Amino acid sequence: MSKESVTVAGIDCGTNSIRLKIARVDADGMHEVVPRILRVIRLGQDVDKTHRFADEALERAYVAAREFAGVIAEHPIDGLRFVATSATRDAENREEFEDEIERILGVRPEVIPGTEEADLSFLGATSVVNRDDLPAPYLVVDLGGGSTELVIGGDGVSAPTTQVQGAFSMNIGSVRMTERHLTNDPPTQTQIDEAVADVDEHIDEAFRTVDAGKARTIIGVSGTVTTMTALAMGLKEYDHTVVDGHRLSFEDAYAVDDKFLRMTRAERREYKTIHPGRIDVVGGGAVVWSRVLARVSEAAKADHGEAIDSFVASEHGLLDGIVLDYGRRLLAQ
């Protein structure tokens, strides 16, 4: 007897990039039909300052949406879900964006709150975790261009490891930190200090909601995390098959974060590992990432006495969560 399955397309439209994935979803999980396609569109350009989408940013988004429409047309699907996150939540002219996306793709973007974004990122990241060698609870950190989600799951005893126990969406990310603080090239020490203080303030707020100190494994998802991991691994070209699931020590993470934060954009451009669309904002992401790791490590030591000194980089996050969740809901219907 053939297993019931649905084929769904998911689009994750963030502050810096937009991604498409098409997969077949059945009782066993997700099976890729079209692996992730990523385009850097910088939709959140200046949104932190103007609270509006720039015309050229909208045009970049529409070009990517038309490309995705072409890909989707080649594969029979049972449904499409388009999810928009941080930048779209903050843009006053988002209706114009939503109308045009609906015209191009036939579905209206769902602008989801940070809490749902956190839940879906956790679902995506933990759906592929090898649970044998990673102790629970897992803290999933989804570091985007406009926001960063912290999500902690259960310990596997009092609550299932896949069950979200606490989540918080911080209004900080690689694009926001760069535009808000790191305006020189390279940034000055004063600008770096201001960025660190800003990040720490947001982490203080997040820790009041998320008991991050309970974590025993940190899973980092997003372009910043995977890019910095690839650089720390010394990869000459980005290779997601090698980065996905790689465990990196904090020591190596801090060193690479600091090095690339203090580089000029011209120096970063020499590294083929960094996507061209991330060259200018990767330092902003590095500040957020280093601070999150340091603060979670301190909290864990205070909570259960064990220092966390490494994290696992994952290629699976919000987009996987969108596809898996949507497919499961269609199957249930």
Whichever domain contains 35, its CATH number is 3.30.420.40
Q: How many domains does the chain have?
A: 2
> Do 174 and 46 reside in the same domain of the chain?
no
Global pTM reads 0.94
What are the tokens at 301?
A: 């030591």
Res 1: pLDDT: 36
> Do 136 and 274 reside in the same domain of the chain?
yes
Position 84 in a domain? yes
Mean pLDDT per 10-residue interval, the chain, length 333 residues? 85 95 95 95 93 97 98 98 88 95 98 90 86 88 95 94 93 96 98 98 98 97 96 97 96 98 98 96 98 98 94 95 97 94
Radius of gyration of the chain (CA): 19
> Do 258 and 306 reside in the same domain of the chain?
yes
Res 130: pLDDT: 67
Closest to 315 in 3D by CA, of 36, 11, 9: 36
Position 322 in a domain? no
> Do 139 and 54 reside in the same domain of the chain?
no
Position 52 in a domain? yes
> Do 135 and 87 reside in the same domain of the chain?
no
Position 172 in a domain? yes
> Do 177 and 103 reside in the same domain of the chain?
no
Largest CA distance in the chain: 65
* CB atoms closer than 10 angstroms to residue 55: 10
> Do 110 and 23 reside in the same domain of the chain?
yes
Res 271: pLDDT: 98
Res 114: pLDDT: 82
Position 320 in a domain? no
Written in H, E and C, the secondary structure of the chain is CCCCEEEEEEEEECCCEEEEEEEEEECCEEEEEEEEEEEECCCCCCHHHHCCCCHHHHHHHHHHHHHHHHHHHCCCCCEEEEEECHHHHHCCCHHHHHHHHHHHHCCCCEECCHHHHHHHHHHHHHCCCCCCCCCCCEEEEEECCCCEEEEEECCCCCCCCCCEEEEEEECCCHHHHHHHCCCCCCCCHHHHHHHHHHHHHHHHHHHCCCCHHHCCEEEEECHHHHHHHHHHCCCCCCCHHHHCCCEEEHHHHHHHHHHHHCCCHHHHCCCCCCCHHHCCCHHHHHHHHHHHHHHHHHHHHHHHCCCCCEEEEECCCHHHHHHHHHHHHHHHC
> Do 177 and 92 reside in the same domain of the chain?
no
Output the domain CATH number for residue 222. Answer: 3.30.420.150
> Do 72 and 140 reside in the same domain of the chain?
no
> Do 184 and 297 reside in the same domain of the chain?
yes
> Do 145 and 195 reside in the same domain of the chain?
yes
235 half-sphere exposure, CB direction, 13 A CA radius: 19
Position 124 in a domain? no
Position 138 in a domain? yes
| Domain carrying residue 266 | 129-315
Position 123 in a domain? no
Res 3: pLDDT: 75
> Do 244 and 168 reside in the same domain of the chain?
yes
